[in-house]
Structure 1
Amino acid sequence: MYDVVKSLHSYWAYLVLLVLIIATVNAIIKTLGDKEYEANDFRKSLFTLIVSHIQLLIGLVLYFVSPRLELWSELGGKVMSNSIARLYLVEHPFVNIVAVALITIGYSKHKKKLTSKAKLKTIAVFYTIALVLFLSRIPWSTWMG
């Protein structure tokens, strides 16, 4: 089960990054270009919200079926002094949960805005921060290898 969930989490991450980049770049370009907010912009931000939440659920399942979880018992507080264990058990989950929360907050806040500029700027800011957070905590050596 672990290998299946790990593969699903890895491949779904490509989709999350792709749609997050599309939604973010779209919002930035339209904000800077003073363009109107359209139904397609709503769909992009909503699809990003959905796929990121699915990734979060897959990640939570992976966390609890992972053999790495046993490192908490073996290392205890020394998890923080082991860079690999810290990345997989603390940094990656925590930072990515924060990133998904920012996507959720940005999506919710943008719906309450009344002007196109305000809607697009809200998506641009929150989704950009989430993208930076995602990119900062991807275990690149194992993900791309």
Structure 2
Amino acid sequence: MYTGLQHLHSALAYLALAVLFIVIILALVGALSNKTFNEKDRKIAMAGFIISHVQLLVGLILYFVSPLGFSLLTGGGAMQDPVARLTALEHPLINIIAIVVISVGYIRSKNMFLSKSKFRSIYMMYAIGLVLILSRIPWGNWLG
């Protein structure tokens, strides 16, 4: 189960990063071209919202079943080791914050009336979330 969750979390990460990047670009283009925000744009933004939340859910499950997650914090010594600190604290905490930022951007856009404001809310908040996510990916574990 643990290995399957690792593979799922890794595969979803590629998908989530790609979808977030596409959503940001499309929202930026929509805002700059004064395009009308329509149902297709809302669904594209929702795709980024949903895939990021699914990735978070899989990550949280993995965090509690993994020997590298929560158990590192309870065993002590994780704060002195940068790799253990990234895995046990920084990666999950910053990514939760990133998903909250993405959620705020999506929910704010639903409550706005002007198309440009909707696009701006999406591209700004999703971009902040994406930068946060990219800043705390354990690249050594993921690519190595």
Question: In which range does the TM-score fall when normalised by the shorter chain?
Answer: over 0.9
- SS of the counterpart of 1:80? coil
Which residue in 1 is equivalent to 2:66?
A: 66
- SS of the counterpart of 1:94? helix
Residue 33 of structure 1: how far off its partner (Å): 2.1
Which residue in 1 is equivalent to 2:84?
A: 85
Which residue in 1 is equivalent to 2:45?
A: 45
Residue segments in structure 2 that go unaligned for 5+ positions in a row: none
TM-score by length of 1: 0.94
> What is the number of equivalent residue pairs in this alignment?
143
User: Once superposed, what is the RMSD of the aligned Cα atoms?
Assistant: 1.1
Question: Which of structure 1's runs of 4+ aligned residues deviate more than 6 A?
Answer: none
- Aligned residues with identical type, % of pairs: 44
Q: Deviations over 1:113-141 (max 9, x none)?
A: 00100100000110010010111111112
Residue segments in structure 1 that go unaligned for 5+ positions in a row: none
**Letter aligned with residue 71 of structure 1:** L
Tell me, in whole angstroms, the C-alpha distance in 2 between the residues paired with 1:126 and 1:94: 17
User: Counting helix residues as a fraction of each chain, which structure ranks higher?
Assistant: 1
TM-score by length of 2: 0.95
**Letter aligned with residue 33 of structure 2:** G
